[in-house]
Amino acid sequence: MAIPVIKNYINGEWVQSGSTTLGDVWCPATGEKIANVPYSTKEEVDQAVQAARAAFGEWRATPPLSRARYLFRLKELFENSFEDISRTLVREMGKAIDEARGEVRRMIENVEHATGVTTLMTGYCLEDIAKDIDCYAERQPMGVFAAIAPFNFPAMVPWWFLPYAVVAGNTFIVKPSEQVPMTQTRIFEVMQEAGFPPGVVNMVHGSKDVVNALLDHPDIEGISFVGSTPTAKYIYKKCGETGKRVQALGGAKNAIVVMPDANLEKGMPSLITSFYGCSGQRCLSGSILLPVGEIGKELREKFATAAAALKVGDGLDEKTQMGPVVSAQHKKRVLGYIEHGIEEEAKLILDGRTIKVPENPNGFYIGPTIFDQVKPSMTIAREEIFGPVVSIIHAKDLDDAIKIINARGFANAACLYTNSGPVVREFKYRVKPSMIGVNIGIAAPMSFFPFGGAGDSMFGDVKGHGREIFHFFTDAKVVITRWI
């Protein structure tokens, strides 16, 4: 069977890129190549921008409720294609099928939340700010926005931004990760039936050249990005230079603190999900397990037992609890970190390097891995691994744990397992990370709350989704009137 070449979606049409540079798209479960993705050109980016720009005038003049109705239709279309999108996602990204369904659910939640535009985008006014003078502030769409998406949530992340931008009256361009272009392509195929006017939503595939073309384009008002911290910093800097709005969500090194009074039996399932869900490839994954005081030994033993029992395999198999990592290259990178841990004399108590998945010997599998006796200065404790590798750092007390957390540049999420209210209050008051979980291993805000960290995990002032997202995609226009 011929390997398909993914197409771009520009101005309401599927367009084959003219680029001769193609990237490979792999099935992580089997190690087979399943598609080619074009590395589109600067000219093709410009075509998408011009199409979006041309569509803006009429779209922004469409009443917000009418714009919201496109999203209502879209929600039903996504529900009807829910399983198809989920399975496409698993095939190219590798996560377990339930994880993919959860991701698609979150994608749809953002569409649902954005339909509240008629309330969420309202302004405010005040009569008689001076004699015969009234003043009002309203939110106006600005033009063309773009999202640059990561590999780990190929369905959801572009939809942290697109529905809000578009329902606010802007037009939009998505650049999916070149590692996982098929999911968003399937989503756009479904979206076509919603009947958006041509040019309102566009998609251009590619790599660094496409990213730079978007960053440099003078007709793009703002960029939303999710990915690694070095790239987030780069994008934040470039947008500053080119006068664009930017929200750039970067990497993480999340700690999960377990206090002596934590209920380990009830908490263990969510702890395991936190560290090994999506094979550790998420910015909310636990990476450092921080037992405080005497609970360390019991926690280590129970955690290691639960981790060793995880079923690793093809994400499309309902029995699988942890899928492969996304690529051969990423597998090599994660294995490199395991080597670092051994070299730096952390104690390897569960070794995921030796995992075998007999049904799929060529898949990109790494089994659950645990290091104990890790010191905060070690590489595996400081750097983002983005794989199923846990570092256990033992803390003396809560104060010690908070200092370890705050010493990191990353400040995305932090979680705490305890039954003590005062401990929770002190923790959330003092830790720098912005997304906090209490007896929850993945502190994932739902679409109506903001998503984003602090420090080296977030560059820009407005986080993903939530109420404030409309501020990112609109200008606050103040009108002062006097009628004499």
Partner 1 sequence: MELKNFGSILNFAAELEAGDEAFYRCVAQNPACVLYKDIFEELVKEHKQNEQKILRIRRENVTEMMLEPIKDFGRTPFMMENGDAGRMDFESVLETARKLEIRSEHYYREAAEKVKALPEVGGELRRIGKKHVIHREKLPNL
Q: Which residues form the interface with partner 1 (CB under 8 A)? A: 79, 82-83, 96-99, 101-103, 105-106, 269-270, 272-273, 277, 284, 310-311, 318-319, 321, 440, 442, 444
Are the C-beta atoms of 16 and 57 separated by less than 8 Å?
Answer: no
Q: One of 27, 239, 278, 283 is an active-site residue; which one?
A: 283
Of 211 and 413, which has the nearer Cβ to partner 1?
413
Least distance from partner 1 to the Cβ atom of residue 101, Å: 4
Dihedrals phi, psi of 221, to nearest 5 degrees = -85, -30
Of 319 and 396, which has the nearer Cβ to partner 1?
319
Of 175 and 282, which has the nearer Cβ to partner 1?
282
CA distances from 37 to 33, 91, 107 (A): 11, 15, 23
Least distance from partner 1 to the Cβ atom of residue 89, Å: 13
Question: For residues 343 and 462, what is the distance between their CA atoms, to the nearest angstrom?
Answer: 40
Are the C-beta atoms of 319 and 311 separated by less than 8 Å?
Answer: yes
Least distance from partner 1 to the Cβ atom of residue 277, Å: 6
Of 311 and 430, which has the nearer Cβ to partner 1?
311
Question: For residues 215 and 217, what is the distance between their CA atoms, to the nearest angstrom?
Answer: 6
Of 242 and 439, which has the nearer Cβ to partner 1?
439
- In the three-class reduction of DSSP (H, G, I as helix; E, B as strand; rest coil), residue 481 is classed as strand
Given its phi and psi angles, is residue 124 left (phi above 0), alpha (psi -120 to 50 degrees) or beta? beta
Give the number of other CB atoms < 10 A from CB of residue 83: 12
Question: For residues 142 and 168, what is the distance between their CA atoms, to the nearest angstrom?
Answer: 9
Which residue, chain included where needed, has tokens 């263990």? 268
Least distance from partner 1 to the Cβ atom of residue 126, Å: 41
Q: Is 283 a catalytic residue?
A: yes
Are the C-beta atoms of 392 and 291 separated by less than 8 Å?
Answer: yes
Secondary structure (DSSP) of 2-49: PPPB--EEETTEEE----S-EEEEEETTTTEEEEEEE---HHHHHHHH
CA angle 13, 15, 21 (to 5 degrees): 155
Of 269 and 409, which has the nearer Cβ to partner 1?
269
Of 64 and 94, which has the nearer Cβ to partner 1?
94
Of 97 and 390, which has the nearer Cβ to partner 1?
97
Secondary structure (DSSP) of 352-399: GGG---TT-TTS-----EEEES--TTSHHHHS---SSEEEE--BSSHH
Question: For residues 287 and 383, what is the distance between their CA atoms, to the nearest angstrom?
Answer: 10
Least distance from partner 1 to the Cβ atom of residue 14, Å: 27
Are the C-beta atoms of 38 and 20 separated by less than 8 Å?
Answer: no
Least distance from partner 1 to the Cβ atom of residue 272, Å: 7
- In the three-class reduction of DSSP (H, G, I as helix; E, B as strand; rest coil), residue 79 is classed as helix
Element (H, E) at 226: strand 220-226
Least distance from partner 1 to the Cβ atom of residue 347, Å: 26
Tokens of 15: 């367009």
Question: For residues 79 and 17, what is the distance between their CA atoms, to the nearest angstrom?
Answer: 30
Of 39 and 153, which has the nearer Cβ to partner 1?
153
Least distance from partner 1 to the Cβ atom of residue 368, Å: 12
Which residue, chain included where needed, has tokens 């569509």? 55
Given its phi and psi angles, is residue 143 left (phi above 0), alpha (psi -120 to 50 degrees) or beta? left
CA angle 121, 124, 128 (to 5 degrees): 165
Least distance from partner 1 to the Cβ atom of residue 97, Å: 6
Q: Catalytic amino acids?
A: 283
